[in-house]
Amino acid sequence: MQVIQVQNLSKIIHGIEILKDINLNVEKGEILAFIGPNGAGKTTTINILATLLKPTKGQVTIAGNKIPEKSRQIREIIGYLQEDFSLYPGLSVFDNLDYWASLYGIPKNERINRIIKLLDDFNLTEKMHSKPSTLSKGMIQKIGIIKSIVHHPRILFLDEPTSGLDPEMVEEIQVMLLDLKKEGCTTIITTHLLDRAEKISDNVVLISKGRVIASGDISELKSRLRTSDLTEIYHKLMVTKND
């Protein structure tokens, strides 16, 4: 069952066409990786899917709800992590997470239990009452991931979730995403880490200058382009595109 359908999506911001005719279909429980250089349009695409931006042209449907008409219904079922996620400086880690969870209407006791469990899963229990200024970038990023899954979303949008994380933390996120996949959660991530994207994702979308230059199953892309890994595919296509 397709949960995300994107047809001929274009986005113009301040007169510049950031996205051009993007087409995309994502199945329920699929992990899709968006790969591309800086300024390719990955974040803009994620922002449109997360209902933060409206499409200039084209049609986007998330779990049967169209953007922007049914944006509020979409926000109820999605989790979103922005690139460079940050916390409210005056609040503790727990208060930050409790604030985000309460905006989804989760009852207090359930909120507390979920936050405590997730902090434990990510080995952050001892930082529960710490202020953000005392945390490392990696810890803040993990808290951002907890924030985006605390309300048990059906669809997850993670913009560069592994940026600034050490390999051990990246591994933890990888395990978490695969666990969510088993529960039927559909995930779209953007990343620069091609090897991770290959291990984690079912399908990839390679994007450059606002256009999709290749998409689909990684093994299918490998055989089509006669390459051994995603990194090779990426470089082959990007070099061809830039030429």
Partner 1 sequence: MTNPITIIGIKEMKTSLTFTRILIPVLIISSSLIPQITSIIQGGDKLELYSVLFLSQLIPVIIVYQVGTNVFLNEIRWKTIKSLLATPISDLDILLGKGFASITAGLCGEAILDLLFLFVLRIETDACVYLILFGIGPLLVVYSTLLIVAASAKFPVSESYGKSSIITLGGIMLVFLLGTLLQGIAHFNAFLSLLIVFLIVASMTLGTLILSLRFFNRENLVITQG
Q: Which residues of the chain form contacts with partner 1 (CB under 8 A)?
A: 13-14, 47, 50-54, 72-73, 75-76, 78, 80, 82, 84-91, 95, 99-100, 102-105, 107, 147
Minimal distance, residue 90 CB to partner 1, in Å: 4
On whether the CB atoms of residues 216 and 35 are closer than 8 A, the answer is: no
Q: What is the 3-state secondary structure (H, E, C) of the chain?
A: CEEEEEEEEEEEECCEEEEEEEEEEEECCCEEEEECCCCCCHHHHHHHHCCCCCCCEEEEEECCEEECCCHHHHHHHEEEECCCCCCCCCCCHHHHHHHHHHCCCCCHHHHHHHHHHHHHHCCCHHHCCCCHHHCCHHHHHHHHHHHHHCCCCCEEEEECCCCCCCHHHHHHHHHHHHHHHHCCCEEEEEECCHHHHHHHCCEEEEEECCEEEEEEEHHHHHHHHCCCCHHHHHHHHHHHHHC
When the beta carbons of 151 and 196 are compared against partner 1, the nearer one is 151
Minimal distance, residue 227 CB to partner 1, in Å: 34
The two beta strands, 16-27 and 2-13, are: antiparallel
When the beta carbons of 180 and 194 are compared against partner 1, the nearer one is 180
Q: Which residue has the tokens 């001929």?
A: 8
Q: Which two tokens stand for residue 83?
A: 């690139």
When the beta carbons of 36 and 79 are compared against partner 1, the nearer one is 79
Minimal distance, residue 216 CB to partner 1, in Å: 28
Minimal distance, residue 14 CB to partner 1, in Å: 8
Minimal distance, residue 75 CB to partner 1, in Å: 4
When the beta carbons of 34 and 100 are compared against partner 1, the nearer one is 100
Minimal distance, residue 188 CB to partner 1, in Å: 14
When the beta carbons of 60 and 233 are compared against partner 1, the nearer one is 60
When the beta carbons of 61 and 71 are compared against partner 1, the nearer one is 71
